[in-house]
Amino acid sequence: MKRRYILPIFLLIQIVILKIIRFFPECVERFYSNGLYILLSKTLRIVLGKIPFSIGDCLYFILIVLLIKWLWMKRQSWTRGRAEQSGAKQEWKNNLLTILSFLSVLYFFFHILWALNYYREPLFEKMAIERDYTDADLLAFTKKIIAKTNAIQSQITKNDSLKVVFPYSQNQVFEMNQNGYKNLSREYVFFTYSHLSVKKSLFSLPLTYMGFGGYLNPFTNESQVNYLGPMYSFPMTTNHEMAHQMGYASESECNFIGFLSSIKNDNLYFQYSGYSMALRYCLGNWRVRNEKILEQLLKTVHPGILKNYKESEDFWEQYQTPIETGFHAFYDNFLKMNQQKDGMDSYSKFVNLMVNYYKVRPF
């Protein structure tokens, strides 16, 4: 077999293996998520965590430049391929094999360094949480979380009409978030977080246009956070990305873990970030389920909290473009191909986890 066919065939083998692995989540959980991945992720965070800028973003930038350069150098061979018959097919074949070989290597490292976590046991099973809930369950929970968010907002501002203004820097948030995870790990050891490696993304402006608050670089295990958004939600967003670092791939699970680690923090501002973001998801659920109930619930939410929500809406609206719609469609399909059948809707599915988690626990 010619060497140039090895990596493209390896790509096909990887795809087949992943189709099989999905039926063995217990094995993935035991040998990868709680085995190899812990070693790989901690090593990367120890090595890169102290570097003040994002190595992952730099690697992506270099990769994009090299890709553009390669396409530019090959542009004549692509055009010849369309215009000529003799020898042109070989040019196309060679270019296609090069692309498939590159994708094969990228696909391998993407999964071995992080993405096999898509196939681990669901958090519902790991924490023995029910999956379904009724409107009555959601209503009871929403009322509780409104009362809790109202209370914390009042403690911070001493005035229910004032929005919460965050007093800490983003770098302070990165350090202080560890307190929430430390407290959470006392109850659930599998939420232990170590070796901080959270960075402000160099691509924060493009992320904003795409409508994202951050992402995890799977190749460097750095949590990348969009530093341009409203600060009141910054701790919750950062905690979400830190949950990805710990090996949780599901967006709903990371929202849930981010919520728990935020409200377990000793600092009121961090608790407010968690409760207010969770409340927003609950209200969003009611917007779909029952507009009348939503209107009644909104009357009980402090005006200061609603001002924080308006702050977020105003921020994201100024960056809305067709780019965001297109990228969301792409990411929606990406999630569906990686064990998250709800796609982008999976972000809000963490309401299921919250409602059912607190059915049997004090709020």
pLDDT, average across residues 284-308: 94
Residue 6: its pLDDT value, please? Answer: 92
Tens of pLDDT, residue by residue over 67-85, are 888 888 776 665 554 445 5
Kind plus residue range of the DSSP H or E element containing 192: none
Residue 183: name the closest of 245, 276, 270 by CA: 270
Select the more confidently predicted residue: 100 or 341.
100
pLDDT at 343 over 50: no
pLDDT, average across residues 290-311: 96
Taking the C-alpha atoms of residue 95 and residue 74, their distance in angstroms, rounded to an integer, is 8
Residue 341: its pLDDT value, please? Answer: 61
Chain mean pLDDT for the chain? 89
Q: Give CA separation, 219 vs 2, 48, 222, in Å.
A: 29, 11, 8
pTM of the model: 0.90
Residue 70: its pLDDT value, please? Answer: 83
Residue 166: its pLDDT value, please? Answer: 96
Residue 81: its pLDDT value, please? Answer: 46
pLDDT at 234 over 50: yes
pLDDT band at 325 (very low <50, low <70, confident <90, very high): low
Kind plus residue range of the DSSP H or E element containing 133: none
Residue 160 makes CB contacts below 8 A (sequence gap 6+) with: 150, 153, 154, 302, 303, 304
Residue 94: its pLDDT value, please? Answer: 80
Q: Give CA separation, 80 vs 67, 87, 90, 94, in Å.
A: 20, 9, 11, 13
Taking the C-alpha atoms of residue 112 and residue 44, their distance in angstroms, rounded to an integer, is 13
pLDDT, average across residues 191-218: 94
pLDDT at 206 over 70: yes
pLDDT at 191 over 80: yes
Residue 339: its pLDDT value, please? Answer: 57
Tens of pLDDT, residue by residue over 11-55, are 999 999 999 999 999 999 999 999 999 999 999 999 999 999 999
Tens of pLDDT, residue by residue over 81-134, are 444 555 556 777 788 888 999 999 999 999 999 999 999 999 999 999 988 889
Residue 290: its pLDDT value, please? Answer: 92
pLDDT at 145 over 50: yes
pLDDT at 330 over 60: no
Residue 19 makes CB contacts below 8 A (sequence gap 6+) with: none
Percentage, residues of the chain above pLDDT 90: 75
Listed range (276-285, 290-299, 337-346) with the worst mean pLDDT: 337-346
pLDDT, average across residues 154-170: 97
